[in-house]
Amino acid sequence: MEIFIQQIVNGLFLGSVYALMALGYTMVYGIIKLINFAHGEIYMIGSFIGYFLINQFNMGFFPALILSMAGSAILGVVIEFLAYRPLRNSTRIAALITAIGVSYLLQNTMIYFFSSTTRPFPQVIKLQVFKIGFLSVSNIQLLILGLSLFLMITLNLIVQRTKMGKAMRAVSVDTDAAQLMGIDVNRTISFTFALGSALAAAGGMMIGLYYNSIDPMMGYIPGLKSFIAAVLGGIGIIPGAAIGGFVIGLIETITTALGFSDFKDAVVYAVLILILLVRPAGILGKHVKEKV
């Protein structure tokens, strides 16, 4: 029982990173109805930017985190401008295939320049373990959870309280009407990609610090799981993505606690299939009737 409860606690920390990435998926889908499968690779590139900033310039974790988020935000805007904007009026399948192509392009570009070798992420924050009864919690886990919650709250404030957030919500509801009201749709979509990419980079750096390793393939599986989290919570709904991320983290660690660690990925995918069968709109999603 003690091991089981410890794994649930670990699941909250892991789930917070999935939640950050799921927010990127759900924001982009909510705005332009696109599943950005390159999101996992931006998460990976964000961790590499942080790795080189810390190693080459002896930066602390937080300055490197801020610059990594900024660099990944710029990358997200460039990807949207070059790959997705020309296809905005094309079929959804064309945009989806392009997103998959961008994902593999980024992944293989990183492998070409940096090889597929796993690199140790610099431990710039000294590990400390705190005992609370039979529970063990490290300062890095607390940092991950606290920073993730801070970024989620900041994102919510941006979406709900700022002029750009109001524009994002307007474009999400009706792009044409928003444009007629004077909203710069292209700028709003680029801002959405920048926000999502920055959150993914933060997740990549935190996971690199937590597991002490990064590699060019590290974004593939977390990217898929974060997409599942977005679908589970209700894709296009920001609170739903956050809830879905925490749920996926808990499912993964509970599966490990029950002795099925080799099948934790399979269980997560099985949950996706079950959700699509039982409640396709997700936990917070609503069924919307579409005219044919």
φ and ψ at 130, to 5 degrees? -110, 135
Neighbours of 289 (CB within 10 A): 5
Give residue 292's pLDDT: 41
178: CB partners within 8 A, 6+ apart: 167, 170, 171, 185, 188
Is the sign of the CA dihedral 237, 242, 244, 245 positive or negative? positive
The first and second tokens of residue 28, run together, are 């982009």
Quote the pLDDT of residue 288: 54
Asked whether the predicted pLDDT for residue 261 surpasses 90, the reply is: no
pLDDT of 276 reads 80
Provide the CATH number for the domain formed by 1-123+130-278 in this structure. Answer: 1.10.3470
- At 284 the pLDDT is 82
Task: Return the pLDDT at 68.
Answer: 97
Does residue 50 register a pLDDT over 60? Answer: yes
Burial of 292 (0-12, 13-18, 19+ CB in 10 A): exposed
Domain range summary for the chain, segments of one domain joined by +: 1-123+130-278
List CB contacts of 218: < 8 A, sequence separation 6 or more. 43, 44, 47, 204, 207
Mean pLDDT value of segment 201-214? 93
Q: What does the pLDDT read at residue 192?
A: 95
> Residue 112 — pLDDT band, cuts 50, 70, 90?
very high
Given a cut of 70, is residue 136 above it in pLDDT?
Answer: yes
157: amino acid identity, one letter = L
Q: 287 falls in which pLDDT band (50, 70, 90)?
A: low
pLDDT band for position 281 (50/70/90)? confident
> How many Å apart are CA 265 and CA 252, to the nearest integer?
7
